Structure 1
Amino acid sequence: MFYAYLRGLVVFLLWIINGNVHYHHRERIIDKDDNYILVAPHRTWWDPVYMAFAARPKQFIFMAKKELFNNRIFGWWIKMCGAFPIDRDNPGQEAIKYPVNMLKKSQRSLIMFPSGSRHSTDVKGGVAIIAKMAKVKIMPSVYVGPRSFKGLISRERIDMNFGNPIDVSDIKRMNDQGIEEVSSRIQKEFQRLDEEVAPFHTDQKPSVLWFFIRIPLAVVALVLVILTLIFSYIASFVWDPDKHRK
């Protein structure tokens, strides 16, 4: 329940800040009753929110670097939303074992950025191995829009485009050759999705009246954020998401 609430709150905040998002080909998204790995090139801090919102009501788990869990409130938030910590320098077997187990035994899918970071475009092999071991498909998507907060708040257009599911069941072994084949399929689909959405992506911005409309909405959002922060701080001492998850 908290996952759905926090997802809605963050999207509401992004709508107030930007309010110019467009979703394309959501009908391609795999049925909500089936688990899958939702992947995209990691281009901003906020693209996973748009990904998760577009694929609702499906809920997700996702990897997050361990440093993000140090803050009491933010760390509790992302734990409640299904995040699990990863040591980027030494990821270990848990980086594979935990998402595979969740994809097999829970109702949550996985959001993953195959490139690893916002500064890389190379598709890594982790997503291929997890998909093969969990026997799930890979659902590609792309975010096209502002990559700075200045662009976001000035209401530059955002486009989220979803592609065709990628089945890896035909690949017998996830050795170097198998991983390279999966990476190639993902990268080609990313490129196709970028090209597909390019004609829709323009620099035209909505009416300036929006800047006046969002002032009272911002006040409402601020109240909700403050109440959520207070609740989260108190709840972090009472409810341990890790114990509940186990």
Structure 2
Amino acid sequence: MFYTYLRNFVTFLLWMLNGNAHYHNTEKILDKTENYILVAPHRTWWDPVYLAFATKPKEFIFMAKKELFKNPFFGYWIEKCGAFPIDREHPGPSTIKYPTKILKTSNRSLIMFPSGSRHSKDVKGGVAVIAKMAKVRIMPAVYQGPMTFKGLAKRERVDMNFGNPIDISDIKKLDSEGLAEVARRIESEFDRLDAEIATIKGPQKPMIFGYLPRLILLIPALVITLLTFLFTVVAAPIHKKIKK
């Protein structure tokens, strides 16, 4: 329940700030009853929120570097959003086993940014291994829009485009050749989705009157933000003690 609240809350804040998001080919998103791996190039800090909102009511888990959990308040937030820690320098078996188990035994899917870091295009083998072990399909998507907070606040256009689900059940072995084929399929779909967005015509910024509903909702938004912050301050230490 708290996952749903946080997803909607952060999406609401992005709408207040930007309010110029456009979603394409959402009919291709797999049914909520089917688990899958949602993959996208990691281009901004906020593209995971747009991905999670577009695919609602589906809930997700995602990998996050362990250093992000050191802050008790931020760590509490991302954990409640479905994050689990990984050691990028020395990844252990749990990096593969945990998401595979969740995909097999729960109704949550997995969000992965196979490049492993923002602005990189190298597809890592983790997506292929997890998809193969969990016997799930791969759902590609791309974000295009402001890359900086300033651009987001200036209400530059955001486009989220969803592609064709990728089935890798025909790949018998995940050797170097098999991994290369999975990477080729994912990258090919990323490139196609990026090119497709480039053909979509639309205003880069919405009309000025679009600010009016945001001004009306500004005070309620500030109140909700404050209450959420206060709840986190109280809940995070309690949650940490319970985990111990």
* TM-based fold match above 0.5: yes
Alpha carbons 1:26, 1:162 under 8 Å: kept:
yes
CA distance in structure 2 between the partners assigned to 1:179 and 1:233 by the alignment: 44
| 1:159/1:201 contact within 8 Å kept | no
2: CA distance, partners of 1:40 / 1:217:
32
- Give the direction of change, closer, same or farther, for the CA distance of 1:41–1:116 in structure 2 (3 Å limit): same
CA distance in 1, matches of 2:201, 2:110: 27
| 1:64-115 residue CA offsets vs partner (Å, 9 max, x unmatched) | 1111111111111111121000111111111111100100011100000010
Q: Give the match for residue 186 of structure 1.
A: 186
Alignment-derived partner of residue 3 in structure 1: 3
Match of 1:225 in 2: 225
Give the CA RMSD over aligned residues. 1.5
User: Which stretch has the larger CA shift, 90-99 or 36-45?
Assistant: 90-99
Q: Percent identity?
A: 63
The 8 Å contact of residues 28 and 163 in structure 1, kept in 2 or not, is answered as: yes
Runs of 4+ that moved beyond 4 A: 240-243
User: Structure 1 stretch 136-145 or stretch 227-236: which is displaced more?
Assistant: 227-236
Is 1:36 equivalent to 2:36 in the alignment? Answer: yes
Q: CA deviation at 1:241?
A: 10
1:80 maps to which residue? 80
Does 2:220 correspond to 1:205? no
What is the aligned partner in structure 2 of residue 122 from structure 1? 122
Instruction: Give the TM-score normalised by structure 1.
Output: 0.94
How far is the alpha carbon of 1:236 from its aligned partner? Answer: 1.9
CA distance in 2, matches of 1:235, 1:82: 16
Paired with 1:224 and 1:213, the residues of 2 have a C-alpha distance of 16
What's the secondary structure of 1:239's corresponding residue?
helix
The AA in structure 1 aligned to 2:48 is: P
SS in 2 for 1:190: helix
Q: TM-score, normalised by structure 2?
A: 0.95
1:140 is displaced (CA, Å) by 0.2
Give the AA of the match of 2:223: V
**Matching of residue 51 in structure 1 with residue 51 in structure 2:** yes
Structure 1 portions without partners, runs of 5+: none
- The answer to whether residue 171 in structure 2 is matched with residue 171 in structure 1 is yes
Following the alignment from structure 2 to structure 1, what is the Cα–Cα distance between the partners of residues 239 and 196? 45
